[in-house]
């Protein structure tokens, strides 16, 4: 099945889609160019990174007849779309490992908490994968836990249900726990060298193309025979900062007495930008105490009800090294939209919607379209859709 702009507009309303910035709309038109069926014809692609961008790329490439292998350094798919559950380990660089304790199936979305109702591509994939979404009350970066943001949707059970649904739809399940350490091109093939994190063994995978869908700050530290221009472009992305602190507690913030009797998950601190830079410099214990005090100001006397704290400082997540990126030079981002030989770059960082899952989707569809064109595949654009350009 092919996603058409016209169908998406019908589903979500043209007004919502057209409210996106002009650059995002232009990117959407480019993102239209996913391949016709069978353009893959047995060619192979290694996808590096099983975040939303890598997974969408793999899903579309598989559909187009490519042989696809997906690699990820973590032991889970989803990347920044991370749902912490009881027993999850939070291993931040330079900090003691935290093991999450959450009772009764509670979970904590440490990254994204919802999908805006006008992020049409991602929502359309969720429908296609049979993943129902419901309206959610998202937290805002101002730290007002529980504040409802208009028009956000999320799967019941945690945001990682989205990447998990993609992973399930792949014939070759993503290979997890393998860190890509070097990228090379040789004899017209992409060579991807990775280290199995459990054994330390180094292995190399060869394919016709590779989609590099890892965050820019991480890519900057991977050895690669890229041209100096590409290296410079990657280095032009600087990481943005975001932190969340969550607790488990009786739901004292609910007005309904019956709901208030149950336990819930409270995101007590969510900060971004300069305040986040200062916040994450503090020891984890102090970050927890600041978050606890903020709850006390809003709900006096409730501090003692807050149990099982969890802190995520995104710039200390070793395979994220930031929440998102900012580009000192927008031309650098554009430059990485072009292929580097056998390597194509993808990821929300490269899209006009860098802080959103939808950005990852757009970038993936763009990379897949480029591979298909280079493989001689046709692209399908509904002639009616051109009117939206
Ligand atoms: C705090 C926070 C709140 C957010 N809120 C929202 C929201 O409400 N709604 C929304 O839509 N978006 C939100 N976002 C943005 C969204 O999470 C991202 O834009 C999106 O998840 C990025 O997807 P990606 O595939 O580009 O990258 P990632 O998800 O980072 O995936 C990259 C993958 O590459 C892997 N990797 C890294 N290095 C290597 C290596 N060397 N070898 C192998 N694999 C490697 C990583 O493990 C990871 O799985 C939020 C993000 C944060 C941090």
- Count Cα atoms within 13 angstroms, Cβ side, for 111: 24
For residue 49, which atom of ligand 1 is closest to its CA? Answer: 34
CA–CA gap between residue 132 and residue 154 (Å, rounded) = 8
What's the residue count for the chain? 389
Residue 151: its pLDDT value, please?
Answer: 86
Q: Report which secondary-structure segment, H or E, holds 353.
A: none
CA distances from 309 to 16, 43, 74, 101, 159 (A): 37, 48, 23, 8, 20
Q: What gap in Å lies between CA 327 and CA 238, rounded to an integer?
A: 6
Distance 296 CA to ligand 1 centre (A): 32
| pLDDT above 90 (res 279) | yes
Q: Exposure string (b/e) for 1-12, b if CB count within 10 Å is 16 or more?
A: eebbbeebbeeb
Enter the tokens of residue 360: 């990852």
Is residue 229 a contact partner of residue 236, using CB atoms and an 8 Å limit?
Answer: no
Helix (H) or strand (E) holding 265: strand 263-272
Q: What is the pLDDT of residue 38?
A: 56
pLDDT over 60 (residue 2):
no
Instruction: Give tens-digit pLDDT for 7-63.
Output: 333 233 333 334 556 666 666 555 555 555 456 777 899 999 999 999 999 999 999
Q: List C-alpha distances in Å: 313 to 159, 244, 382.
A: 18, 7, 44
Ligand 1 atom closest to 360 (CA): 26
Pocket of ligand 1 (CB under 6 A): 48-54, 71-74, 79-81, 111-115, 179-180, 213-215, 218, 222, 242, 244, 314, 319-320, 323, 347-348, 355-360
The predicted-structure confidence for 323-348, as pLDDT tens digits, reads as follows 999 998 999 999 999 999 999 999 99
CB-neighbour burial class of residue 388 (10 A; exposed 0-12, middle 13-18, buried 19+): middle
Structure tokens at 105: 């199936």
pLDDT at residue number 24: 65
pTM recorded for the entire structure: 0.89
Residue of minimum CA distance from atom 38 in ligand 1: 319
CA of 84 to the centre of ligand 1 (A): 14
Question: Of 248, 226, 229, 245, whose CA–CA distance to 344 is shortest?
Answer: 226
Place of tokens 């978050």: 291
| pLDDT over 90 percentage in the chain | 75
**Alpha carbon distance 105, 316 (integer Å):** 26
- Non-local (6+) Cβ contacts of 206 within 8 A are 189, 190, 191, 192
| Cα 142 to ligand 1 centre (Å) | 21
């Amino acid at each position: 099945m092919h996603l058409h702009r016209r169908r998406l507009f019908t589903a979500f309303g043209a007004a919502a889609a057209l409210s996106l910035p002009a650059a995002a709309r232009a990117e959407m038109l480019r993102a239209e160019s996913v391949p016709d069926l069978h353009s893959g014809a047995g060619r192979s692609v290694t996808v590096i990174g099983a975040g939303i961008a890598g997974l969408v790329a793999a899903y579309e490439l598989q559909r187009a007849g490519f042989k696809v292998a997906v690699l990820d350094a973590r032991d889970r798919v989803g990347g920044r779309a991370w749902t912490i559950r009881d027993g999850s380990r939070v291993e931040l660089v330079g900090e003691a490992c935290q093991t999450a304790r959450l009772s009764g199936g509670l979970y904590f979305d440490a990254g994204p908490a919802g999908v805006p109702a006008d992020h049409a591509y991602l929502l359309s994939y969720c429908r296609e994968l049979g993943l129902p979404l419901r309206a959610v009350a998202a937290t805002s970066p101002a730290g007002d836990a529980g504040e409802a943001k208009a028009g956000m949707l999320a799967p019941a059970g945690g945001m990682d249900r989205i990447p998990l649904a993609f992973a399930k739809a792949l014939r070759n399940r993503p290979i997890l726990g393998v860190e890509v350490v070097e990228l090379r091109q040789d004899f017209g093939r992409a060579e991807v060298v990775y280290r199995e994190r459990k054994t330390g063994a180094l292995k190399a995978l060869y394919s016709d193309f590779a989609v590099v869908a890892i965050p820019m700050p991480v890519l900057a530290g991977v050895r690669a025979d890229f041209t100096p221009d590409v290296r410079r472009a990657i280095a032009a992305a600087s990481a943005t900062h975001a932190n969340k602190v969550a607790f488990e507690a009786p739901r004292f913030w609910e007005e309904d007495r019956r709901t208030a009797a149950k336990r819930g998950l409270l995101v007590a601190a969510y900060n971004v930008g300069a305040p986040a830079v200062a916040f994450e410099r503090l020891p984890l214990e102090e970050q927890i105490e600041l978050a606890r005090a903020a709850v006390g100001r809003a709900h006096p006397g409730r501090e003692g009800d807050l149990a099982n704290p969890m802190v995520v400082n995104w710039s200390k997540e070793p395979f994220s090294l930031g929440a998102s990126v900012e580009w000192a030079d927008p031309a650098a981002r554009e430059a990485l939209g072009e292929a580097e030989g056998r390597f194509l770059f993808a990821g929300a960082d490269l899209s006009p919607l860098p802080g959103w899952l939808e950005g990852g989707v757009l970038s993936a569809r763009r990379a897949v379209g480029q591979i298909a064109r280079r493989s001689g595949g046709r692209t399908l654009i509904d002639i009616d859709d051109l009117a939206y350009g």
